[in-house]
Chain A
Amino acid sequence: MSQPVQPWSGPPVTAGLADAVTASDEMVQLLTPEGRRVQHPEFAFTGDDAEIAGYLREMVLARRYDQEGTSLQRQGELGLWPPLLGQEAAQIGSGRAVRDTDMIFPTYREHGVAMLRDVPVANMLGLFRGTSMGDWDIEATRFAQYQIIIGAQTLHATGYAMGIQHDGAVGNPDPERNAAVLAFHGDGASSQGDVNESYVFAASFRAPVVFFCTNNQWAISEPTIRQSRIPLYQRAWGYGFPGIRVDGNDVLAVKVVTDWAMERAREGQGPAFIEAFTYRMGAHTTSDDPSKYRLSEETEAWRRKDPIERVKTYLLGVGAIDEAWLADLDAEADEFGEHVRAACKSLRSEPLAHRFDKVFRVPTAEVEDQRDAHISYLAGFEAAEGSSR
């Protein structure tokens, strides 16, 4: 990163790979890619192996969810799917650090977190099938609608956190009364004005919001170094709150670090920034062709850091699970996959006529007139068809 660069010239192709090598000594890791538990001076995972097995199960289900999404798109059942492959630990580890009373503002890729928040599969898939716009209940799920406009949600998250603060739901002696917000964004998003403004507002108001930056090394075809010449987590300090880099493929480290950040936010100590260092193993979306811009060697190198394999290795090693346990999990994943497919294929869109009623809470005559004209125009066709029969 310190080598001189020509103005405007492109970053090295293997930016993700090179960075990953230098990243290790400055990032929190508690479970190595080889499945070995390691100590960190500040962070320790205190849960038991049963809890870890629970995360393994959720990561496997998230991966299955994602695989089904990709294949449903291939079959023409979905219009688009943004894969989470490779980011299971980042999503399950962070998703498990929020409480029911906390709020989450996702990007468009947090299907694993959505699953933990009980966003119904059908309601999620409707968005990508084009049968609905984002049909789930924020109050019930505490999981905001997906955001397509890069970074916009970070301001919403900050404002929501300011509301929590105004409600007096931070810093209470009774921790049950406290809440905080988890805001996801990508490495690419870190360049957006909205995102940088959200950091400023969060710091200025000491809002109880945690920025969870999923650094998956790529923003479509652009490597992270196009967005930042210093490690992203180091930026946070310049805004006035702590930044920390965590091995995003280590579910234990992600869980513990996010717990820490969320807890200090709930206690009233203000925002924090987590850079989850991970890798987008798949395409940006099903419309993308990564072979145009990155080397397969890079992807292969990251495959050895797989977030699921290391947990399996560890749990098998200590005897917490066995092959039969894994076979049961496979069966459960198959069943879940079946559920995902069935839920998707049964989805139908309501007619356009209904959408006129969703423009405003308090309807206007203008829009209602257009709706009525639309309905009678369609009725004209039906009448014509009827009479020609």
Chain B
Amino acid sequence: MSTMTLAKALNAGLRRALDANPKVLLYGEDIGKLGGVFRITEGLQKDFGEDRVIDAPLAESGIVGTSFGLALRGYRPVVEIQFDGFVYPAFNQIVSQVAKFHNRTEGRHAVPMVIRIPYGGGIGAIEHHSESPEAYFAHTAGLKVVTCSTPNDAYWMIQQAVASEDPVIFLEPKRRYHDKGEVVHDTKPLPLHQARVVRGGTDATLITYGPMVKMCAEAAAIAEDEGRSLEVVDLRSLSPIDMVTLTNSVRRTRRAIVVHEDVQTLGLGAEIAARLSEDLFYLMESPVLRVTGHDMPYPNSRVENDFLPDVDRILDAVDRSLAY
């Protein structure tokens, strides 16, 4: 067991993935000498060489499209997209090619690759550096989408994603990169697509993922002081969604609030609300509520805190849910 930041845990996980399989390649802009703008790949080019940790020309469509070819040739590319907003030049390759290939080849071939994307806001950045693009990918059949919220999950999930036979969009909560936590090295990790109950509770379930897990845990701690018991579930996998863990929780609490930074309309909250109402309609005491970013382009950084869900907005939703 050791304590490290989420960024370092990803680095350690990638190192293990490179060690475990000579076909694994890291591929992206500025990931070599620089170690990526967030230093997630720091030191890896030095240790594994320029042929396995590859600085690509500046073109995301090119990076993902050539990764597709490398994957067909038996390699396992792990792509780094520098920031969330820069994945869109590659969107065509991801949704039209990577996602559809297994289907196109009648199940004969897969293109196992990982596309790592630092995502989310709260870091005071300029346009295109704070977005939450998860819904686009979760909406696309043929892509698996996961996101970590703790160093331990970062360490294990990145290795599981690399080992996955299907393409995985791996979302990294960039505002949590420097948060520290325990990484348990000698353990059997949770399956990649299983959700995790972060904190037990009885009055309502906060369903969340990525950067908002910490926020929800904080909200639950404050609620406890006020005599309310909130359960917090970290989805971890956005596609597929672990409905077993979700319904087990909500069956007990009978109230659910989904929290994410992404905008509201057609976000993960909409899907989860629909599924919970299908599965547990007669049991629920109140409609599923959503605490999300507003339906607008990500705002200028000086007002981003009014855009992003915070403890107050979460507790306000809890009040409304309980008062229903």
B194 interface contact, C-beta 8 A: no
Is B107 an interface residue, CB under 8 A from the partner? Answer: no
**Complex formed: what's the CA distance from A129 to B126 in Å?**
9
Taking the complex as formed, is A366 at the interface, i.e. its CB lies under 8 A from any CB of chain B? Answer: yes
Contact of A80 among B33, B56, B126, B316 (CB under 8 A): B126
The size of the chain B interface, using a CB distance under 8 A, is 44
Q: Tell me whether B270 is interfacial, beta carbon within 8 Å.
A: no
A75 within 8 A of B: no
Judged by a CB distance under 8 angstroms, whether A149 is at the interface is yes
**With A189-B58, A359-B296, A370-B294 in contact, is A221–B33 under 8 Å at CB?**
yes
Given that A221-B33, A222-B29 are contacting pairs, would A193 and B59 also be in contact in the complex, using a CB cutoff of 8 Å?
A: yes
> Chain B contacts of A127 at CB under 8 A?
126
Contact partners of B299 in chain A: CB under 8 A:
133, 352, 355
B-contacting 9-mer, from A4-12, A59-67, A300-308: A4-12
For the complex, is B277 an interface residue (Cβ under 8 Å from A)? no
Contacts of B29 in A (CB 8 A): 219-220, 222
Does A367 lie within 8 Å of B295, measured CB to CB? yes
Q: Does B189 contact A (CB under 8 A)?
A: no
User: Contacts A8-B54, A130-B300, A148-B126 hold; do A292 and B85 have CB atoms under 8 A apart?
Assistant: no
Cβ of A221: which chain B residues have Cβ within 8 Å of it? 30, 32-34, 55
Within 8 A of B (CB), among A327-356: 348-352, 355-356
* B125 sits at the interface (CB 8 A): yes
Are the C-beta atoms of A192 and B59 separated by less than 8 Å?
Answer: yes
CB distance from B25 to the nearest CB of A (A): 9
Binds A, one of B158-166, B225-233, B302-310: B302-310
Q: Please give, as numbers and ranges, the residues of chain B lying within 8 Å of A150 by CB-CB distance.
A: 58, 86
Give the chain A neighbours of B33 by CB distance below 8 A.
10, 221, 292-293
Residues in B neighbouring A356, C-beta threshold 8 A: 294, 296
- CB distance A79 to B125 under 8 Å? yes
B142 within 8 A of A: no
User: A149–B125 contact, CB under 8 A?
Assistant: no
A149-B85, A227-B58 known; A8-B50 Cβ under 8 A = yes
B265 at the interface (CB under 8 A from A): yes
The 8 A CB mask of B282-296 against A (1 = contact, 0 = none) is 000000000000111
| B127 at interface, CB cutoff 8 A | yes
For residue B85, which residues in chain A have a CB less than 8 angstroms away from its CB?
148-149
Could you say which interface size class chain A belongs to?
A: 35 or more
B128 at the interface (CB under 8 A from A): yes
Cα of A366 to Cα of B88 in the assembled complex, Å: 26
Q: B295 touching A188 by the CB < 8 A rule?
A: no
- Cα A367 to Cα B264 in complex, Å, equals 11
Interface residues in A365-387 (C-beta closer than 8 Å to B) = 366-367, 370, 374, 377-378, 380-381
CB within 8 Å of B: which of A255-288? 287-288
Chain A residues with CB under 8 Å of B312's CB are 381
Closest to B305 in A: A352
CB distance from A377 to the nearest CB of B (A): 7
Residue of B at shortest CB range from A378? B306
The residue from A8, A80, A192 contacting B125, defined by CB atoms under 8 A apart: A80
Pick from A10, A130, A191: contact of B302, CB below 8 A.
Answer: A130
Q: Does B124 make an interface contact (CB < 8 A)? A: yes
